[in-house]
Structure 1
């Protein structure tokens, strides 16, 4: 995330993890240097090194949804760090319950866990002095949530939206129309300048996707 560390209230670093190259986000409050990992799916030594490199003290773990590459190692990491887990929405409880089985299938370590706080639409989470808004965005999974920091025009959206694509909806309890509705009703109103970190692949912004995304551009949905 390119911003001036002297003036920006928040900074973020992307650390791809697991064989599925999931974008784990380390985000932190520049005033307090306290931070959170969003979706620490695995490769914990890489994540520890990233926090150390940036001088960030981790105070919590945030989860967008219950898929193995996003939260397989979250419970283990939270215990090690002595920090709480917040998210996703409780509708993804069944995904988190099957993390061990899914881990065997995908060759990723997976451990079921109970978040310290399930999130719902309209909740807020804090990281240092930052406050992020929570949006429930079902479709890819029924309990998927998105985290948005309005002041930074920054969102971490998990597998709801990608540069040039959208999340798969062929998993159990996925729903294509729900996903489209989530993007249009929850993400677009956050503003075109909002830069987002998707669960995989390069960053983009909402204006670019509204112009060019073959699934959810204004012309595709017209």
Structure 2
């Protein structure tokens, strides 16, 4: 699998182009900002965008969605609980000086438990709330990869002080990932660096406080 990470926007969000090695079809995960740069990357790779997958709808993860969808024709999968936010992003903005952002009406929804066949890859959708009410994580089957959005970071975890955030809920979501996937599973997070579940299990102080299984 070929994963290209781009760090974009004022809060340094990670967005990813994901495709099978050498394929001319790809998926974008959480295109948060800098749409012209992301479109240029697609042209440079000479790939067709099959889909845009969203882990959640905070502004820093969806700011480029509408432009990418319009320019590529790709359909957008959004957590169903958060569809109203994507459809009216600026009404939910609580950070002065940022935006405005272009809203988008989701083409498809996910809630957890779905299996998506896109661009030659199989994505299992996992419901991982706690950072936001509808947050999902995408696991790429047979590739040992998780796209964790703002659930789990390198050395940290998603914040829970935004509307709809809840630490006990986030802790359960993280514990479920640790119990389900091997230590060598790669974690592609919404902020900071790429890591593995094993590294986070061993070194992440939030997971120690969580009482994660050894």
Q: TM-score surpassing 0.5?
A: yes
Structure 2 residue matching 1:13: 3-state secondary structure? strand
CA distance change for structure 1 residues 106 and 39 in 2, over 3 Å: closer, same or farther? farther
Structure 1 residue matching 2:69: 3-state secondary structure? helix
CA distance change for structure 1 residues 142 and 48 in 2, over 3 Å: closer, same or farther? same
Q: Given the two structures, how large is their TM-score scaled by the length of structure 2?
A: 0.91
1:155 aligns with 2:138: no
| Structure 1 unaligned spans of 5+ | 1-9
In 2, distance between residues paired with 1:95 and 1:153? Answer: 31
Matched-pair contact (CA < 8 Å) for 1:65–1:141: yes
The residue aligned with 1:65 is 56
Shift of 1:57: 1.3
The residue aligned with 2:194 is 203
The residue aligned with 2:27 is 36
The residue aligned with 2:182 is 191
Equivalent pairs, count: 211
RMSD: 1.9
Matched-pair contact (CA < 8 Å) for 1:69–1:108: no
The residue aligned with 1:141 is 132
The residue aligned with 1:56 is 47
In 1, distance between residues paired with 2:197 and 2:46? Answer: 30
1:92 aligns with 2:82: yes
Matched-pair contact (CA < 8 Å) for 1:24–1:38: yes
1:161-180 alignment runs, 5 A limit: 161-180=152-171
In 1, distance between residues paired with 2:178 and 2:101? Answer: 30
The residue aligned with 2:205 is 214
Matched-pair contact (CA < 8 Å) for 2:5–2:15: yes
Structure 1 residue matching 2:38: 3-state secondary structure? helix
1:82 aligns with 2:78: no
In 2, distance between residues paired with 1:174 and 1:104? Answer: 16
Q: Given the two structures, how large is their TM-score scaled by the length of structure 1?
A: 0.88
CA distance change for structure 1 residues 106 and 139 in 2, over 3 Å: closer, same or farther? farther
Shift of 1:11: 0.8
The residue aligned with 1:4 is none
1:130 aligns with 2:127: no
1:112 aligns with 2:103: yes
| Structure 2 unaligned spans of 5+ | none
Matched-pair contact (CA < 8 Å) for 1:188–1:206: no
Matched-pair contact (CA < 8 Å) for 2:35–2:67: no
